[in-house]
Amino acid sequence: MIRNKYILITFRLVVGGVFIWAGLLKIFDPLGFAQNIANYRIFPEGISFFLALVLPWIEVICGVFLILGIFRSASTLLLSGFLAVFLVLITVTIIRGIDIDCGCFGSLSRKVDYKLILEDSILLFFSLNIYFSRKAVRVKF
């Protein structure tokens, strides 16, 4: 695990910023995000709408908390969980041969592909480094 406090702060800014940006884009288009969730053909329609209303707010709040250094462990753990679940969801979607947009960034989303798996794996690496290096991350801005 990386222990350099400046690298960890950079990781916090990157992960937090990505989730704030992604969450805000989804908040502004909840019906579009609900459709993106439904396109995965995993969740029932009612759950898709509920997730479309709740998940973006959690992403934004955790992203802000992570950047500000508030509730770092909880925020990082939750965002890491989101990334892990999304990686599984993307992999299953590729295996099933479903050709859809990921829905990650609202209307700016792109197709589900292996590059997306790589990008989310890098974000998960950043996030897990933040989580497991709690002592070094205690640096405030």
Is the predicted pLDDT of residue 125 greater than 60, yes or no? yes
Indicate the number of domains in the chain: 1
pTM above 0.85, yes or no: yes
pLDDT digits (tens, 9 = 90+) for 61-111: 999 999 999 999 999 999 999 999 999 999 999 999 999 988 888 777 788
Residue 141 located in a structural domain: no
Six token digits for residue 33 = 């995000």
- Give pLDDT, residue 135: 57
Residue 58: domain span? 5-134
Is the predicted pLDDT of residue 138 greater than 60, yes or no? no
Residue 139 located in a structural domain: no
Residue 75 located in a structural domain: yes
CA–CA distance, 124 with 15 (Å, rounded to integer): 9
Six token digits for residue 67 = 């950047």
Contacts of residue 29, Cβ cutoff 8 Å, sequence gap at least 6: 106, 107
* Cα Rg of the chain, angstroms: 15
Mean pLDDT across the chain: 91
